[in-house]
Amino acid sequence: MSIVERAMERAKQARAQVSQQGAQPPERLVPAATSQVLAATEAPTAERLADTDAPPFPIESLSYFKLDMASIREAGGLPEVENMQDSVDQLRRLKWPLLKAMQGRGGQQEALNNRLVITSSLPHEGKTFMSLGITLTLAREKGMRVVLVDADVARATMSRNLGVKDRPGLTELLHGEKKLEEVLLRTDRPALFILPAGRGDTRAPELMGSPQMSKIAEELSAFVGGGIVIFDTSPLLATNESQVLSRFAGYLLLVVRAGQTPRDAVVAAADLIPEGIPSSAVLNGVEYGLMSTHYGYYGYYGPYGKKYGQYRYGEESAPDSGGISEFEGDDSRAA
């Protein structure tokens, strides 16, 4: 039996066990952030970005909300204030090679298009935490328009952390119920736009692989122009959405939790990335002084099947963070 087959079999057994025993309660519930979304007619005037292509529809037509960093941090979406500068420094190290790859400027693997998919092998590795940090960092680049898409419709943790979980979004686009300009949100950061997950839908894998998803991906690419679309997706070994969605990716970033993610899980997840999609991995949660030893923690095949079983549509769970130092929040010193 191959690694992938073994991983899928463990996931199947875990789901059956959870079905018999009932879903286990989440470890810890954190109150969701709440953000007041203003209609386009009530929103502040949109700031014009220099050196960016004109979008296909007016920015002023989009609804607006202000990022509440304190609430996002409390919900688990940002590091603590005392760790912020370290987070900014670490994100810079990740930003430059990603930018080179996404913009075709001599990256080790050049992206196929301007869409970046961020995923992980398993839940609770920090991929949502990482997605927001990378997005905030890239949105500071001159001439960069960035859209962050919550494509994890099963849990919608990103939308929850940002306080827009009750808003229509990707699911409604996939069903053809809304147009992009009706669900895309602009923020108080002129270069940053958010597409919420929308309502949960158990047909998400089929919808993600549909011609409608291809159309949405192209519309998002056209909106950012020379910028970047970032998809925060579900874990590769938990659901099928991220594997299906990665077909439309220009580049895929796999988040691996140092000292926690089993090596076989990483290998199994990597095997699920469609052939030909440029990709790389980033170690999350690495402690200083452990760089020479943390690989030893990957020497076991851990009980991650249980985490598969707990990955259910509409479930609110503990924040996808975990003491990680790779993110940037509202620190004005960031580049």
How many angstroms separate the first and last alpha carbons of the chain? Answer: 48
Strands (E), 178-268: 185-187, 192-195, 228-232, 251-257
> What does the alpha-carbon distance between residue 321 and residue 178 come to, in Å, rounded to a whole number?
31
Superfamily per CATH, domain 3-287+299-309: P-loop containing nucleotide triphosphate hydrolases (3.40.50.300)
Q: Looking at this protein, which amino acid is placed at residue 56? A: P
Average pLDDT for 285-291:
52
- Are the C-beta atoms of residues 98 and 208 closer than 8 Å to each other? no
* Overall average pLDDT of the 90-96 stretch: 78
Q: Which two tokens stand for residue 4?
A: 């992938």
167-176: pLDDT as tens digits: 999 999 999 9
Q: For 288-306, what is the mean pLDDT?
A: 31
Collapse the DSSP code of 298 into the 3-class scheme (helix H, G, I; strand E, B; otherwise coil) and give the result. Answer: helix
Interval 51-66: pLDDT, tens:
778 889 999 999 999 9
* 13 has a pLDDT exceeding 70: no
For the cut 90, the answer to whether the pLDDT of residue 271 exceeds it is: yes
Average pLDDT over residues 78-84: 65
Residue with token string 């500068």: 85
Q: What rounded mean pLDDT belongs to the chain?
A: 77
pLDDT for 110-160, tens place per residue? 899 999 999 999 998 888 888 998 999 899 888 889 999 999 998 999 999
* Tokens of residue 303, six digits: 């009980």
The pLDDT, as a whole number, for residue 158 is 94
Q: What is the pTM of this model?
A: 0.79
DSSP codes of every residue in 61-95? GSEEE---HHHHHHTTSS--GGGHHHHHHHHHHHH
Q: Where are the beta strands (DSSP E) in the chain?
A: 63-65, 115-120, 146-150, 185-187, 192-195, 228-232, 251-257, 279-284
Higher pLDDT, 28 or 203: 203
pLDDT above 90 covers what percent of the chain? 41
Question: What pLDDT does 52 receive?
Answer: 78
Ranked by mean pLDDT, the top range of 27-31, 84-88, 256-260 is 256-260
Is the pLDDT reported for residue 48 higher than 50?
A: yes
Collect all residues with Cβ–Cβ distance below 8 Å to 333 and sequence separation of at least 6.
85, 88
Strands, E, within 228-317: which ranges?
A: 228-232, 251-257, 279-284
Determine the Cα–Cα distance for residues 231 and 247; give it in Å rounded to an integer.
12
